[in-house]
Structure 1
Amino acid sequence: MTKKELVQKEREPIYDSAIPQLPPFPLVGRAEVLEAIKQWIWTADDELNDGGGTVALYGTPGVGKTALATALAHDPEVRAYFLDGVLWAGLGLAPDPTTILNRWGTLLDVSPTVQAKQKSDEWRRLLQEAIGERAFLIVLDDAWRIEDARNLQIGGPYCAYLITTRSSEVAATLAGEGAVKVEELSQEEGVQLLQMLVPGLDMTEKAQQLVQAVAGLPLALKLLGNYVRKQAYSGRTRRIIAALERIERLDERLSIQEPQAPTEQHPSLNADLPLSLRAVIAISEHQLPEQLQRAFYALATIPAKPNTFSEEMACAVMNCTVEQFHLVRDSGLLELSSQGRYTIHQTVHDYAWQRLHEVGGLEKAYCRLLSYLMDFGEMYQKEYELLQQECVTTLACLEQIVGMGKGKEFAELFLMYVPFLMSTAHYEITRQLALRAEAIGWEYKAPVLVVRALFYQGQVLQKLAHLAQAEECFRGALELAQQMNNEEYICSALTEPGWIESKRGPYEQAEQHLLDGLYMANKL
């Protein structure tokens, strides 16, 4: 045993009373990330690398960063490694470093008389001297600003820091390579958590639906599970069914709440406020200027994770500058995805969607998205790899604007993207969109749109080997093109059925159609 270990053995370890209690249920789906964090702390501490023995957990509000930190603070291996104990500080939006340092001073057995006489810088230095070569894990929970965390980094060479934050920038700055993104639970893990929270209730199918609805966010699952369990205590089937039906609604899922336990108080939420998904997400929203809050809501027009979007798209939809978008990004409301793109978690998306409806900005936001997609499609109409990145958003936009009565805009966007959809084998989607485009064409008395929609339907059906149906579509397009006396469309509508007939007969008719098409092509 080393001299350092002998000295440590003579002292009782210190475990900060601010450390939250372990929940009654074990963490689900976190074994791998817990082990990875521990290994990083051991390695960083041994090598004294650039991170200085610092790990920073970051991620979406409610993803379980504090729960992981709590589990690590109670972990037997962690406590065995940091023989002198664990210090904890909940920072939040407006941390009180003096109160935190004074509590630590008391724990470190520094005289209250000495505390009262010292200025803040001198007090930090005295605490650092009191820690000396002692081995503490120092947990800084819910850090919003880099300087707030650094003001409390008073440990010595044998201490390590575990920081939680919503901001990837704060995490990267404070921990370097020790920044760890905390992901939501998988479908299987989410169902396991719900079944643990609501034991004895056969809700496997409903659990799967709920996990999908909140995209595996642990806080959401915990709140929903606790709510259903409370209703199940009555034993009345009607109440349980009513509870399950209630949380199917987006606004209800955001509103389900429970009181904060004194030992589990959220650092950024007033103690007298109940804990809810809405309240936790609103903390980030309220860090933005009011105008930028409204701009953020517009991102609900872009589909949620796993879909991604570019900074350019976000700025166009939000009608904001790059600098303003970065404020939203740094608030923890968005996640950085691959290749410099971004994504928004389903629960944050739901929150923004509801707020967008409340402020009445839905149609304007979709108009901005539509304008961006039209410009993007025109600029990159042949660059299918780029169009593929925005495919999910484009299809979702088409779905929404047709329901807003914007048939003309639907047709323009569809016709711009349909060559890409066909070339990338999105056949069934193309057929459904073409059917809508045809209906819009008849409604708006736009025969050219009807012809093109019928033509694309025929092409899709031909690709799917539904040749008789394809031929019917081409014939419909031909009849209308002839009524319009549009030679270009007549040529196309003759040639395509000619190719079909050349495969299945009648062959004389096929030859005639192809010759007629060739004749029309030569006239163009």
Structure 2
Amino acid sequence: MPDRKAQSYFPNTLLKQARLERGLSQKQLADMIEAPQTFMVSRWENGVTTPGPVYRGRLCELFGKSCQELGLPELPSLAHPNDPHLSLFDPSIPLHVSAMRKLIGRDTLSHQIKKQLIQEHCPFLALHGLPGAGKTALSVSIACDEEIQEHFAGGILWIGLGQKPQVLTHLSRLGLLLKLHEKERASLRTHTEWLQALRQLIGQRRMLIVIDDVWNLEDAASCMIGGPCCSYLLTTRLPELAVRFAETHVWHIPELSQDEGEELLYSYMPTLIEQETPFIAQLVQAVGGLPLALSLIGSYLLTQTYHQRRSRVQMVLTQLQQAESRFSLEHPQTALIQDSHLPIDKPLSIYSVIHLSETILDTSSRCALAALSLLPAKPDTFAEETALFITSSTLETLDHLVASGLLEVVEGERYQLHQIVSDYANLYLKEPEAKKRITTYFCQAIQTHQNDHAWIEQEMSTMLRALQIALTEELSDAIVQGIFSFTQSLFFQGLYELAQNLLNDIALQIRQTQQTLWITRLLEQQGKNAISLGQYKVAEQLWQEGLSLAEKLQHAFLTSTLLYDLGELYYKQGHYASSEEYLKRNLELAYQTGTSQEISRTLYSLGAVTYQRGEYTAARAYLQEGLTLAQQTGDAKTITFLINIGAVEADQSHFSEADEAWQKALAYARNLGDRRSICVILVNLGTLSIELRKYERAQVYLQEGLELARRIQHREQMCNVLLGLSELALQQNNLTEGETYLQEGLLLAQEVGNPWFVCNFRQGMGELYLKRQEPQAALNTFSQALKEVPDGSRKETAKIYFGLARAYALLSKPQEAREYAYSSLQRFTDIGYYRANEVQLWLDQFIQEDGSMQL
């Protein structure tokens, strides 16, 4: 939102005094000079705005006073054209365009155009842009600029053409303005004769000739009456015409930015309150910052809410959020708002100015435009192949739309459709088959590009819109398959909330079909997203329901998938026995009916379960078998096998082998864009670096992991990284920093409901208390961690026992210290964990020092 600072205004007391001397009210004065609104007089007298040249002339004539005597700027001089030393200012210049308020957001553009005209002496310039973008308003502003008028000392001429110009009528008017002799004017019959006469009359004068609203290059050429010292400024909504006229000296007139658009609306309604700010921002977005649309909205707001009834303001703002309401806005063509390209008796509206461009389209282009309006509007873009498929047209048709100025080309063979154009086509043009084509496009495109995550990221807005439209059609196997493929891709990219929202949106629709297969697949997808958002209980309920349906269907694939999912879920919850049960059931089924990919991932998970239980030999066997299968088939699961193989090696002090496995996995994951796996590997490498006392390297890995985890909003991985960062901080004796990481991580782990993370953050807090020489707090914390340790996790139990041993040692309780140390050593030795040596050394020293050791 633009910063609306308080402005200082200087009341025009001279104008007010002249009115009061005549005994006139503000309304009476407005009626006498044909001002459409009484508040205009009020604003002039308060110094908020200045009347334009038209009203200034009428005020001077009414009161019999000069502009200076009324406290107004002097009128532009309409000097005698036969005097070469005096300037001619064409009265046809539509000064009403800038009479009420200054242009917003055009200062830089105006400066650049003036530079080309004045400093570079450019003879041909062209402005192009959407209808309503403000091309004419900018041209008027330039024509009225003092530097421009000083440079073009011969004067400024204005020729407004339109779609069906009467060129000879324009030339005749200019002849009269330039004081061409009456007899000579009467003798001129042809266009060529008029051109010759006017060029001879202008001669060496330096003049700016504005040719406004050009639709045909031949029409513009027919109005080139200037001599060698003249410059032309052409405006058109047709980009190709602009280039043909001015070649490289072409300026695109863009829409206003968000802040500029809000500033324009606030210039109409400066009294809007804070609660109404979101409505204003939404209106600017809804019309894509198009100046004409914003001006019509601003004028409507002003007239509808003049008495400042807040309920009325809210109602009008809400009403204008609808495209139909905005297109129905009309304003009589007056001195306040006018379009010289429309008949004077036709009201100005967004519809009327866009409709002019539509009239030059053929039937196929109209149908194509209607189809394209189903796609996301600017600033989003869409690919050429998408446009051709959805419109079922040719490149020639797209080129025609581009030439009309209604469709924009952007870099890389992509297109944009402005929001106003999109709304117009959606409301007033029809293409009955377009929705079916965009549904087909969605289904085919997601199947083709499901694993091309870069493509999906680029086409995300298009795919979301296509999905939205597809859901209005009757569900089919193709649509449902497309939905699930799309959400799987979103899941892979870490867009979990978006995937969940999409699944929730379609859940009721799918359940109402009573198609058991579709419902089962829905349950599997919803459970997967629930897991990513840390909703374990929800996931378990969804998957158990899905497993029951899959087994009733005797659907081997879905049964296998859900057995695997449940095995993974119980693993995350620390229920290793249940996890192993479901995974072994799935492995048996996969060996019978499954693919090598299904066998591979189940082996991976069994490797993870046995790893957590400290059964390293079994874990290595499962993982090596699975890795071989994954590598043979090019399965992306290769990454996760390498991750866990590295973990097994690290636990057994094979640090070099662990680093090698994780570096391979990281390169593979980066190549695939698998951001979740990248997080896991970065934490592992960071933790390994801590173990090797390479703290700077650890910091780099862990900080990258934290940024990525937060970016993809993966709460489990955020826990993982925070755990690694806390360990790094404690190793470097940065206790305050370590405590911050531990507290944040523990809270997050409790929200997620992952007992492994909760247990490990508790252990971290215990280690923190030991470093602070707070043994009782450490004892309490390790005791709590022991209650939360996942079932069957001998490694975590052994780590907690070692923490308890050291706490009891500091509390001078040697018997308890020895008992827990022996228990820890036994478990570490049984599973072959590398920290067994650390515990043995501690225990030896403790016994040697008779229980009074320093930690």
In the superposition, the TM-score normalised over structure 1's length comes to 0.88
Alpha-carbon shift at residue 277 of structure 1 (Å): 0.7
CA-to-partner distance for each residue in 1:103-129, whole Å, 9 max, x for gaps? 233333333433443432243234333
Q: Tell me how far apart the structure 1 counterparts of residues 445 and 471 of structure 2 sit (CA, whole Å).
A: 20
Larger of the two Rg values belongs to structure: 2
Alpha-carbon shift at residue 142 of structure 1 (Å): 0.9
Q: Confirm or deny that 1:206 pairs with 2:275.
A: no
- In the alignment, residue 23 of structure 1 is paired with which amino acid? A
Q: Tell me how far apart the structure 2 counterparts of residues 166 and 515 of structure 1 sit (CA, whole Å).
A: 69
Q: Confirm or deny that 1:30 pairs with 2:106.
A: yes
Q: Tell me how far apart the structure 2 counterparts of residues 174 and 512 of structure 1 sit (CA, whole Å).
A: 77
Cα 1:369–1:26 change in 2 (3 A) is same
Which residue number in structure 2 is paired with residue 49 of structure 1? none
Q: Tell me how far apart the structure 2 counterparts of residues 326 and 59 of structure 1 sit (CA, whole Å).
A: 16
Q: Confirm or deny that 1:40 pairs with 2:116.
A: yes
Kindly indicate whether the alpha-carbon contact (under 8 Å) linking 2:168 and 2:191 is maintained by their aligned counterparts in 1: yes
Q: Confirm or deny that 1:302 pairs with 2:375.
A: yes
Alpha-carbon shift at residue 432 of structure 1 (Å): 2.3
CA-to-partner distance for each residue in 1:177-198, whole Å, 9 max, x for gaps? 2222222222222221112112
Cα 1:157–1:515 change in 2 (3 A) is farther
Alpha-carbon shift at residue 20 of structure 1 (Å): 0.9
Alpha-carbon shift at residue 102 of structure 1 (Å): 2.4
Cα 1:509–1:292 change in 2 (3 A) is same
Greater CA drift, 451-460 or 78-87:
451-460
Q: Tell me how far apart the structure 2 counterparts of residues 522 and 409 of structure 1 sit (CA, whole Å).
A: 29
Which residue number in structure 2 is paired with residue 425 of structure 1? 494
Q: Confirm or deny that 1:98 pairs with 2:171.
A: no
Q: Tell me how far apart the structure 1 counterparts of residues 309 and 137 of structure 2 sit (CA, whole Å).
A: 33
The unaligned stretches of length 5 or more in structure 1 are 1-7, 46-51
Cα 1:201–1:442 change in 2 (3 A) is closer
Q: Tell me how far apart the structure 2 counterparts of residues 469 and 400 of structure 1 sit (CA, whole Å).
A: 29
Which residue number in structure 1 is paired with residue 40 of structure 2? none
Which residue number in structure 1 is paired with residue 298 of structure 2? 225
Q: Tell me how far apart the structure 2 counterparts of residues 270 and 246 of structure 1 sit (CA, whole Å).
A: 29
Cα 1:243–1:477 change in 2 (3 A) is closer
CA-to-partner distance for each residue in 1:393-443, whole Å, 9 max, x for gaps? 221222233244446554133134334322332222212223345444433
- In the alignment, residue 160 of structure 1 is paired with which amino acid? S
CA-to-partner distance for each residue in 1:236-270, whole Å, 9 max, x for gaps? 55654554444333212111111213697534321
Kindly indicate whether the alpha-carbon contact (under 8 Å) linking 1:53 and 1:161 is maintained by their aligned counterparts in 2: yes
Cα 1:283–1:458 change in 2 (3 A) is same
Q: How does 1:51-90 map to 2 (within 5 A)?
A: 53-90=123-160
Q: Tell me how far apart the structure 2 counterparts of residues 262 and 192 of structure 1 sit (CA, whole Å).
A: 22
Alpha-carbon shift at residue 509 of structure 1 (Å): 1.5
Q: Tell me how far apart the structure 2 counterparts of residues 179 and 138 of structure 1 sit (CA, whole Å).
A: 16
Q: Confirm or deny that 1:156 pairs with 2:227.
A: yes
Q: Tell me how far apart the structure 2 counterparts of residues 309 and 181 of structure 1 sit (CA, whole Å).
A: 21
Q: Tell me how far apart the structure 1 counterparts of residues 585 and 224 of structure 2 sit (CA, whole Å).
A: 83
Which residue number in structure 2 is paired with residue 447 of structure 1? 516
Kindly indicate whether the alpha-carbon contact (under 8 Å) linking 2:372 and 2:387 is maintained by their aligned counterparts in 1: yes
Please report the RMSD computed on the Cα atoms of aligned residues, expressed in angstroms.
Answer: 2.7
Kindly indicate whether the alpha-carbon contact (under 8 Å) linking 1:73 and 1:86 is maintained by their aligned counterparts in 2: yes
- In the alignment, residue 402 of structure 2 is paired with which amino acid? R
Q: Tell me how far apart the structure 2 counterparts of residues 83 and 178 of structure 1 sit (CA, whole Å).
A: 22
Q: Tell me how far apart the structure 2 counterparts of residues 406 and 493 of structure 1 sit (CA, whole Å).
A: 24
Q: Tell me how far apart the structure 2 counterparts of residues 263 and 10 of structure 1 sit (CA, whole Å).
A: 34
Cα 1:437–1:483 change in 2 (3 A) is farther
CA-to-partner distance for each residue in 1:503-524, whole Å, 9 max, x for gaps? 3311112222222222222222
Secondary structure at 1:161 match in 2 = strand
Which residue number in structure 1 is paired with residue 25 of structure 2? none
Kindly indicate whether the alpha-carbon contact (under 8 Å) linking 1:168 and 1:330 is maintained by their aligned counterparts in 2: yes
Cα 1:462–1:200 change in 2 (3 A) is closer
Greater CA drift, 219-228 or 262-271:
262-271
Q: Tell me how far apart the structure 2 counterparts of residues 275 and 312 of structure 1 sit (CA, whole Å).
A: 37
Alpha-carbon shift at residue 35 of structure 1 (Å): 1.4
Kindly indicate whether the alpha-carbon contact (under 8 Å) linking 2:443 and 2:478 is maintained by their aligned counterparts in 1: no
Q: Confirm or deny that 1:173 pairs with 2:244.
A: yes
- In the alignment, residue 242 of structure 2 is paired with which amino acid? A
- In the alignment, residue 500 of structure 2 is paired with which amino acid? R
Q: 1:495 aligns with which of 552, 560, 564?
A: 564
Kindly indicate whether the alpha-carbon contact (under 8 Å) linking 2:382 and 2:459 is maintained by their aligned counterparts in 1: yes
Q: Tell me how far apart the structure 1 counterparts of residues 539 and 118 of structure 2 sit (CA, whole Å).
A: 66
- In the alignment, residue 454 of structure 2 is paired with which amino acid? E
Q: How does 1:172-191 map to 2 (within 5 A)?
A: 172-191=243-262
Q: 1:20 aligns with which of 85, 94, 111?
A: 94
Alpha-carbon shift at residue 353 of structure 1 (Å): 1.8
* Percent of aligned pairs sharing the same letter: 34
Q: Tell me how far apart the structure 1 counterparts of residues 108 and 567 of structure 2 sit (CA, whole Å).
A: 61
Q: Confirm or deny that 1:349 pairs with 2:422.
A: yes
Q: Tell me how far apart the structure 1 counterparts of residues 200 and 455 of structure 2 sit (CA, whole Å).
A: 57
Q: Tell me how far apart the structure 2 counterparts of residues 166 and 28 of structure 1 sit (CA, whole Å).
A: 20
Which residue number in structure 1 is paired with residue 394 of structure 2? 321
Alpha-carbon shift at residue 10 of structure 1 (Å): 5.3
The unaligned stretches of length 5 or more in structure 2 are 1-81, 595-855
Q: Tell me how far apart the structure 2 counterparts of residues 300 and 220 of structure 1 sit (CA, whole Å).
A: 18
Kindly indicate whether the alpha-carbon contact (under 8 Å) linking 2:331 and 2:337 is maintained by their aligned counterparts in 1: no
CA-to-partner distance for each residue in 1:152-198, whole Å, 9 max, x for gaps? 23333432222211112112222222222222222222221112112
Kindly indicate whether the alpha-carbon contact (under 8 Å) linking 1:44 and 1:54 is maintained by their aligned counterparts in 2: no
Which residue number in structure 1 is paired with residue 77 of structure 2? none
Cα 1:132–1:380 change in 2 (3 A) is farther
Q: Confirm or deny that 1:259 pairs with 2:328.
A: no
Secondary structure at 1:17 match in 2 = coil
Which residue number in structure 2 is paired with residue 402 of structure 1? 471
- In the alignment, residue 427 of structure 2 is paired with which amino acid? Q
In the superposition, the TM-score normalised over structure 2's length comes to 0.56
Q: Tell me how far apart the structure 1 counterparts of residues 364 and 84 of structure 2 sit (CA, whole Å).
A: 58
Q: How does 1:231-310 map to 2 (within 5 A)?
A: 231-234=304-307, 239-261=312-334, 265-290=338-363, 292-310=365-383
- In the alignment, residue 73 of structure 1 is paired with which amino acid? A
Kindly indicate whether the alpha-carbon contact (under 8 Å) linking 1:20 and 1:263 is maintained by their aligned counterparts in 2: no
Secondary structure at 1:499 match in 2 = helix
Q: 2:413 aligns with which of 340, 347, 361?
A: 340
Q: Tell me how far apart the structure 1 counterparts of residues 562 and 197 of structure 2 sit (CA, whole Å).
A: 87
Kindly indicate whether the alpha-carbon contact (under 8 Å) linking 1:60 and 1:334 is maintained by their aligned counterparts in 2: no
Could you say which structure has the greater relative contact order, defined with CA pairs below 8 angstroms and 6 or more residues apart?
A: 1
Kindly indicate whether the alpha-carbon contact (under 8 Å) linking 1:434 and 1:454 is maintained by their aligned counterparts in 2: no
Q: Tell me how far apart the structure 2 counterparts of residues 337 and 295 of structure 1 sit (CA, whole Å).
A: 18
- In the alignment, residue 312 of structure 1 is paired with which amino acid? E
Alpha-carbon shift at residue 229 of structure 1 (Å): 1.3
Q: 2:534 aligns with which of 465, 469, 477?
A: 465
Q: Tell me how far apart the structure 2 counterparts of residues 407 and 430 of structure 1 sit (CA, whole Å).
A: 20
Cα 1:263–1:454 change in 2 (3 A) is closer
- In the alignment, residue 560 of structure 2 is paired with which amino acid? C
The number of residues matched between the two structures is 508
- In the alignment, residue 84 of structure 1 is paired with which amino acid? G
Q: Tell me how far apart the structure 1 counterparts of residues 530 and 396 of structure 2 sit (CA, whole Å).
A: 48
